[in-house]
Amino acid sequence: MTLDAYNVFCDDFYVDMSVNTELDLPTDRDTILAFCERIQKQFPSMSSFYRRKSNEYCLEQQNSQGSYRWITLEKNSINSGVVNPADLEDAYSQDRLVLELAPYMLSLSHLDISSLDVTFSMDFDYYGNHDEVIAEALFGSTAFSCLLDLPDACPVGLSPAVVVSISADSLTQARINIESKTSFYEPSPKRQDSEDAISLSFTIRQYPCGTEKFDALKSFKNQCRLAEELMAEKIVPNFVRPLNNVIAQKRLT
């Protein structure tokens, strides 16, 4: 499935990678700056560097027409992402660079990696009740829909998430998450429709096998393949299209 096949269904598309670690990552000035400078050498547009209050270090590109790159170094994770990439390889090349540099510049050992995530995400802009959209698109023919048949029933707080193992050893897992941005803390009619987007994220997570050395680059390649295949075969037809169709119908009414 090409990138255009994703973009036709959503307003924003994201490709993210996270390396989760057992031990704390280095935080000394020279190490952090040297790593970020090396990333910037490959991607000169990533010119904004700052530290958050939570001591996360961020290197990012300024948002240009809705497309930008970012990298964050947190206490126990290295995160890399591209928003609205030109193509999938455009995002993958940044992630591979991070994986290639981390062992040498951040002292990342294969023993230290607790898991590796590859995530495809989509945002669907909709000003209205996100919970109603999710309920209509995804819950109509499920057992959960019986609760919506109750008198005066109204969906609130619908942000379903499911994790499944997709390997015999359970070390490869897939997670689908749909997030409503409509707040359910205020009862109707005070409840406000959200101006944010409905978000869908699909993650392939790989845990290391204790009997062999974890090859992050090899795993990343396989996870990207799995993510692309399952997005095309499962996620787009069963989650993305129904959400897109319901949003389109509600915009016409």
Percent of the chain with pLDDT over 90: 74
Mean pLDDT for the chain overall: 91
Q: How far apart are CA 38 and CA 216, in angstroms?
A: 19
Which of these ranges, 135-139, 158-162, 188-192, 231-235, has the smallest mean pLDDT?
188-192
Which of these ranges, 75-79, 102-106, 150-154, has the smallest mean pLDDT?
150-154
Say whether pTM exceeds 0.85: yes
Q: Does domain 3-252 have CATH number 3.30.160.110?
A: yes
Given this model, what pLDDT does residue 241 score? 95
Q: Could you report the per-residue pLDDT of 90-140, keeping only the tens digit for each?
A: 999 999 999 999 999 999 999 999 999 999 999 999 988 899 999 999 988
Q: Which of the 8 DSSP states describes residue 202? A: E
Q: Distances from the Cα of 183 to the Cαs of 11, 34, 38, 201, 213, in angstroms?
A: 21, 42, 41, 19, 45
> Domain limits of the chain?
3-252
Which of these ranges, 110-119, 195-204, 218-227, has the smallest mean pLDDT?
195-204
How does residue 229 score in pLDDT terms, banded at 50, 70 and 90? very high
Percent of the chain with pLDDT over 70: 94
Tokens at residue 61, please?
A: 């590109």
Given this model, what pLDDT does residue 1 score? 67
